[in-house]
Amino acid sequence: MFESFLPPEVAQLTEETSIALASQIRQSSIETSISSEAIETAYVHQGEGGIPILLLHGFDSSVFEFRRLLPKLAAHHDTWIVDLLGFGFTDRPINIPFNPEAIKTHLYDFWKEKIAQPVILIGASMGGAAAIDFVLSHPDAVSKLVLLDSAGFAAGPAIGKFLIPPLGYLATEFLRRPNVRRSVSLKAYCDPSFVTEDAELCAALHLKLSRWNEALITFTKSGGYNFLSNKIQQITCSTLILWGDSDQILGTKDAQRFRNAIANSKLIWIEQCGHVPHLEKPELTAKHILEFSSL
């Protein structure tokens, strides 16, 4: 039922949308200039027709982040989710620079191989920063942009200052602890009832893959997307900003900053919602995205 590259714990999933997404995760060998060998890249593809949609997950996350949003979008659009380089279930080859430039190159090569036409690019949290970086470099590949409680103005994870030997390993092992990840999850939602055993498993399955901690350390030490804030005003494509009004991860001030910086943009608040509207309010999030896609 599940691909062999997924950890055996995937069989413990209980939520219908989690099981459905897990059964659709595939890997594809993507040729890219950053590696002499193709990179086995994890992705999910569902739906057909309409402008293609490409979804990008947040920091230390995976395709599972969009398990509740995917079927609602795929009912109307050709929809893709990809695990960014260094994250999720995409392979982490040795001697690869897990930094924004490499992530962007790998993402472009994935897009060119699998989609090769302008997409509605949707980025959540750090995935929003990756989406901004991508659209600024490859505007012809993006028809419209959707930012979900996006990074870009905010500084990178505070853990970065601890990622020096030997603290790097210790810091990532700290992040691996179930109680630490549960604490982060509770902060991500407005309604704590969403932090179920299934949700915690979805958020932790990718930790079972080899070199998870090495890639996380390398990416964080690169500075992440801290270089973006002065470039956001260069975005020219039509942009939808969706933001949970109770976001305790990034706060709410950056929502209006994005609206002010991006000339052709619209800000919509998701009420009684935390940092992950695509998980906490998937129906409403999908509704706004689909309305935006039809404009």
Other CB atoms within 10 Å distance of the CB of residue 221:
16
Superfamily in which the 8-293 domain is placed by CATH: Alpha/Beta hydrolase fold, catalytic domain (3.40.50.1820)
- Measured between alpha carbons, how far is 225 from 243 in angstroms, rounded to an integer? 19
Q: Provide the whole-model pTM.
A: 0.95
Q: Please tell me what DSSP assigns to residue 272.
A: T
Is the preceding peptide bond at 157 cis, omega within 30 degrees of 0? no
Q: Determine contact, residues 119/54, Cβ cutoff 8 Å.
A: yes
- Cβ-based burial of 20 (10 A; exposed 0-12, middle 13-18, buried ≥19): middle
Q: What is the pLDDT along the chain (295 residues), one digit of tens a residue?
A: 899 999 999 999 999 999 999 999 999 999 999 999 999 999 999 999 999 999 999 999 999 999 999 999 999 999 999 999 999 999 999 989 999 999 999 999 999 999 999 999 999 999 999 999 999 999 999 999 999 999 999 765 544 444 444 445 566 777 788 888 899 899 999 999 999 999 999 999 999 999 998 999 889 888 899 999 999 999 999 999 999 999 999 999 999 999 999 999 999 999 999 999 999 999 999 999 999 999 8
Q: Determine contact, residues 149/175, Cβ cutoff 8 Å.
A: no
Q: Determine contact, residues 86/19, Cβ cutoff 8 Å.
A: no
In order, the DSSP letters of 41-57 are EEEEEE--SSS-EEEE-
Which residues have C-beta within 8 Å of that of residue 151, sequence separation ≥ 6?
Answer: 58, 59, 125, 126, 128, 129, 225, 250
Which residue from 208, 211, 226 is spatially nearest to 99, judged by alpha carbons?
226
